[in-house]
Chains A and B, each alone.
Chain A
Amino acid sequence: MAQMEILDPTVEPRKQALTYVARPDSLAGKRIGLVENTKFNSDRLLLKIGEILKREYGAAETRMWRKHNAGVPAHAEIIEEAKRGVDVVVAGIGD
């Protein structure tokens, strides 16, 4: 028979409902947002990806934002400007 009880030290993270917008059928004519995470070469990597999306997939334009640092999510200005100004976002990391 059990003589003692101990308490669980762990915490369950809160559940977050995440939904994705529908993916576009084609990137032709789409405006591409690029979000770089400040790490070394992440801007160069994303610019190359942006060029490929324009050259090979017909994307209209690219625009890049820079996060405050690699350890935080994209800040509110990025989210708001991306919502208004681009159709698709590519977020990448470099290191």
Chain B
Amino acid sequence: MAAELVSRRYAVEDPADAVELCFDRGWTDGLPVVPPTEARVRAMLDAAGLSPEQEIAFITNRQVAVSAEKVAINAVMAGCKPEYMPVVVAAVEGLGDPRWGYHGPATSTGGAGVLMIVNGPVARALDFNCGDNLFGPGWRANATVGRAVRLVMRNAIGTLPGALDRGTFGHPGKYTYVIAENELESPWTPLHVERGFRPDQSTVTVMAAEAPHQVYNQLSSTASGILETMCDDMRVSGNVMGQPNYAVVIAGEHMRTIAASGWGKAEIRAFVFEHTKNSLAHLKRTHRLSGQVEPADETTLRPLLASPDDILVVAAGGRAGSFSVYIPGWASRRSSAAVTTLVQERRT
């Protein structure tokens, strides 16, 4: 017999009343939700092979254990298909990883969203968008998986805007912020393989992240030319002094140009690391670093990141258009590092 669902039940007249009740109880992100009925919640759990009481994450600062049942309820509300549930679960596991450090990025005035990068066969099987309009609307998997994670943060963990989410601005990615890597057209090693997984495995990488910053270069026919433009923009982005992770998302035209120069992801990382350093003098003159400008500050360079390995390079975005994107991480890598978790069926 299936394990009992322990969540409190609310009786309503019809689906429209259910939606209004969810608004009234403060359970939504401001948009209508799908009513989380027992049948829908059980379908979500069954699709991932999970028992309702299984713990998916424990958030130490909040002393909150997030059960599979609560993840499933929020995934239903977000509009997920049951087959998306293993991806939602993997992302929530990532948020519970001490390296991600939930309290900081979820709470901070810095207003980070949770960028989720899906890799492996599941990205194709579930039709996660990796192409045109990458960060935009129109794909159910991207839209609802990210929304489900945000609803788990809100409802299960208590990350309420204005209370325990004190983002000064936040950004639209806090509704949903999910992309897949375009592994079929990419000339490069997929992100999850670089991070220790097999190509035939599926993963979600979660990174506490600002909004995407778009960079335009229609002139260069070389990798270094394109990346010089990106670095010039990126050098003073984000926290500047924080040394966090960055994601660099390279779309079709730039991807082909960079690959034609014979560059892989390691070369991209090395170049970006070297070309995003700031002089201490510049950081002091622009009030990012305290103190008087000393003569040596003109030639002393401070890297934007602690290591080239802190740059996540992802091949994704539309085939047409001479654009790429970089995404600053939140705070510092010491405070929150990107975490990659395996998408798996738990059925035993």
Residues of A within 8 A of B (CB): 2-11, 13-14, 16, 40, 68-73
Judge if B104 is at the interface, Cβ distance under 8 Å.
yes
- What are 27 A-B interface contacts by the 8 Å CB criterion? A3-B14, A4-B12, A5-B10, A5-B38, A6-B12, A6-B18, A7-B9, A7-B36, A7-B41, A7-B69, A7-B73, A8-B9, A9-B36, A9-B151, A9-B155, A9-B156, A10-B27, A10-B70, A11-B65, A11-B66, A11-B155, A13-B63, A13-B64, A69-B331, A69-B334, A71-B336, A72-B101
User: Given the complex of chains A and B, what is the CA–CA distance between A8 and B21 in angstroms?
Assistant: 11
Contact A9 B64 (CB under 8 A): no
> What is the distance, in angstroms, from B103's C-beta to the closest C-beta of chain A?
5
Residue ranges of B at the interface with A (Cβ–Cβ < 8 Å) = 5, 7-15, 18, 21-22, 25, 27, 35-38, 41, 61-67, 69-70, 73-74, 77, 101, 103-105, 107-108, 151, 155-158, 290, 331-332, 334-336
Q: Most chain-B CB neighbours within 10 Å: which of A4, A5, A13, A40?
A: A4
Cα A2 to Cα B334 with chains together (Å): 51
Asked whether, in the complex, the Cβ of B18 is within 8 Å of the Cβ of A72, the reply is no
CB pair A4–B11 under 8 Å, yes or no, is yes
Q: Secondary structure at chain A's binding surface: helix, strand, loop or mixed?
A: loop
| Those 7 A-B pairs whose CB atoms lie nearest each other, nearest first | A71-B104, A2-B11, A9-B155, A8-B8, A7-B7, A14-B63, A69-B335
**Could you say which residues of chain B place their CB within 8 Å of the CB of A5?**
9-12, 37-38
Asked if B70 and A9 make an inter-chain contact with CB atoms under 8 angstroms apart, the answer reads yes
A11, B10: Cα distance in complex, Å = 15
Q: Are A4 and B35 in contact (CB under 8 A)?
A: yes
> What is the CB-to-nearest-CB distance from A18 to chain B, in angstroms, rounded to a whole number?
11
For B21, list chain A residues within 8 Å (CB): 6
In the complex, what distance in Å separates the CA atom of A64 from the CA atom of B104? 22
- A residues in contact with B22, CB < 8 Å: 6
What distance in Å separates the Cβ of A26 from its nearest Cβ neighbour in chain B? 34
> Chain B residues near A6 (CB, 8 Å)?
9-10, 12, 18, 21-22, 35-37
Find out whether the CB atom of A69 lies under 8 angstroms from the CB atom of B15.
no
Give min CB distance, A88 to chain B, whole Å.
24
When the two chains form their complex, are residues B63 and A16 in contact, meaning their CB atoms are under 8 A apart?
A: yes
Tell me the complex Cα distance, A16–B61, Å. Answer: 11
CB A69 to nearest CB in B, in angstroms, measures 4
B156 adjacent to A7 (CB under 8 Å): no
Q: Which residues of A contact B63 (CB under 8 A)?
A: 13-14, 16
* A13: chain B residues within 8 A (beta carbon): 62-64, 158
A3 to B18 alpha-carbon distance, docked (Å) = 10
**Are A7 and B37 within 8 A (Cβ)?**
yes
B8 touches A7 (CB 8 A): yes
Residues in chain A near residue B70, CB distance under 8 A: 9-11
A17 CB to nearest B CB, Å: 11
Distance (whole angstroms) from the CB of B180 to the closest CB of chain A: 26
A3 to chain B, nearest CB (A): 6
A4 to B41, CA, bound (A): 14
Contacts of B151 in A (CB 8 A): 9
Instruction: Give B21's nearest chain A residue, CB to CB.
Output: A6
Within the complex, what minimum Cβ distance (angstroms) separates B288 from chain A? 11
